[in-house]
Amino acid sequence: MPVEEFVAGWISGALGLVLGHPFDTVKLLGFFKGMSFPIASIAVVNSVLFGVYSNTLLLLTATSHQERWAQPPSYMHIFLAGCTGGFLQAYCLAPFDLIKVRLQNQTEPVAQPGSPPPQYQGPVHCAASIFREEGYRGLFRGAWALMLRDTPTMGIYFITYEGLCHQYTPEGQNPSSATVLVAGGFAGIASWVAATPLDVIKSRMQMDGLRRRVYQGVLDCMVSSVRQEGLGVFFRGVTINSARAFPVNAVTFLSYEYLLRWWG
Ligand SMILES: C[N+](C)(C)CCCC[C@H](N)C(=O)O
């Protein structure tokens, strides 16, 4: 099994994250505060995504990454490989994403003197507390919603990327850096727009169970969110998600393609 894609996915995910982190942290003081945990986690997750995507395409079409611009795979194969990558990365992402959401939802930007310490003191403490209080399965709270969010939208991610690259690249050539940046940026936006409704539900499921369980499952969470807040609830955060998605995914794809060309 070719491993370059896993390594390139690892590095490119980390680079994209450095750019995206300020968007994730706009509410906090210090843009790059607390970055080591997300870097470590996105590197693992992106490596699984790109590694599985590329190897699934290899299984489906028998073309390696180097041959793919000359012999483009069908959109059906690209979509299936993207969905497979999205499905498997969701399981790796689930505990990391849970910890991120729990930490982001708990704190005041500046601790008030005399106020009680935050429930979770950092990522490791957060993971240990969830494990202690909610068990091993607690670490996978919201994982089902995350998997539903990522499986089809990672298919959309790769279809948009490959489609735009082909559109703007002469037959048989490698896409230019500008093309890769723009195609990567729009792939990020397209997949985030499609992912936002389930992203909202996923975050609610992850916060559920902290005290009293409110939702019975993904469907129940959807129905009660729409009842209380209307259909607009599904688009909450779509603008910030898209603004973040462009630079993050432009850099992720550019570094991914360049690392593979450089090694290959
Ligand atoms: C599938 N979904 C839309 C959730 C993510 C697609 C892009 C993944 C990228 N690491 C990022 O953080 O933007």
Same domain, 158 and 207: yes
Separation of 212 CA from ligand 1 center, angstroms?
30
Nearest CA to ligand 1 atom 7: 188
Percentage of the chain modeled with pLDDT above 70? 91
b or e along 109-131 (b: 16 or more beta carbons within 10 Å of the residue's beta carbon)?
eeeeeeeeeeebeebeebbebbe
Considering only residues 18 and 183, tell me which one the structure prediction assigns the higher pLDDT. Answer: 183
In the predicted structure, residue 196 carries a pLDDT above the cut 60: yes
DSSP H helices, the chain, are: 4-24, 36-61, 75-104, 123-138, 143-167, 177-207, 218-229, 238-263
Separation of 24 CA from ligand 1 center, angstroms?
13
Same domain, 202 and 216: yes
The amino acid occupying position 216 is: Q
Check pocket membership of 249 for ligand 1, CB cut-off 6 A.
yes
At 29 the pLDDT is 46
Same domain, 134 and 146: no
Same domain, 123 and 146: no
Domain contains 261? no
Check pocket membership of 191 for ligand 1, CB cut-off 6 A.
yes
Which of the listed residues 154, 161, 238 should we mutate to test ligand 1's pocket, taking the one with most ligand atoms within 8 A of CB? Answer: 154
The amino acid occupying position 63 is: T
Domain contains 12? no
Nearest CA to ligand 1 atom 13: 245
Check pocket membership of 47 for ligand 1, CB cut-off 6 A.
no
Find the domain containing 201 and state its range. Answer: 141-230
- Number of domains the chain is built from: 2
Check pocket membership of 188 for ligand 1, CB cut-off 6 A.
yes
At 34 the pLDDT is 62
Instruction: Give dist(CA 80, CA 36) in Å, integer.
Output: 32
Same domain, 129 and 172: no
Same domain, 170 and 100: no
At 118 the pLDDT is 79
Domain contains 251? no
Same domain, 38 and 58: yes
**8 A C-beta contact, residue 147 and residue 92:** no
Instruction: Give dist(CA 89, CA 98) in Å, integer.
Output: 14
Which of 90, 100, 199 minimizes the C-alpha distance to 143? 90
Domain contains 224? yes
Same domain, 42 and 131: yes
> Residue 211, class by beta-carbon neighbours within 10 Å (0-12 exposed, 13-18 middle, 19+ buried)?
exposed
Atom of ligand 1 nearest to the CA of 195: 3
Please report the ipTM that was assigned to this predicted complex.
0.97
Same domain, 167 and 193: yes
b or e along 158-173 (b: 16 or more beta carbons within 10 Å of the residue's beta carbon)?
bbbbbbbbeeebeeee
Which band of pLDDT confidence, cut at 50, 70 and 90, is reported for residue 56? very high
Structure tokens at 93: 């992402």
The DSSP call for residue 216 is S
The residue-averaged pLDDT of 230-239 equals 95
Same domain, 127 and 173: no
Check pocket membership of 248 for ligand 1, CB cut-off 6 A.
yes
Structure tokens at 176: 């230019």
pTM of the predicted structure, to 2 decimals: 0.88
The residue-averaged pLDDT of 83-97 equals 96
Same domain, 136 and 169: no
Separation of 192 CA from ligand 1 center, angstroms?
6
All residues at 6 or more sequence positions from 179 whose CB lies less than 8 Å from its CB, including other chains: 164, 165, 168, 169
Same domain, 98 and 172: no
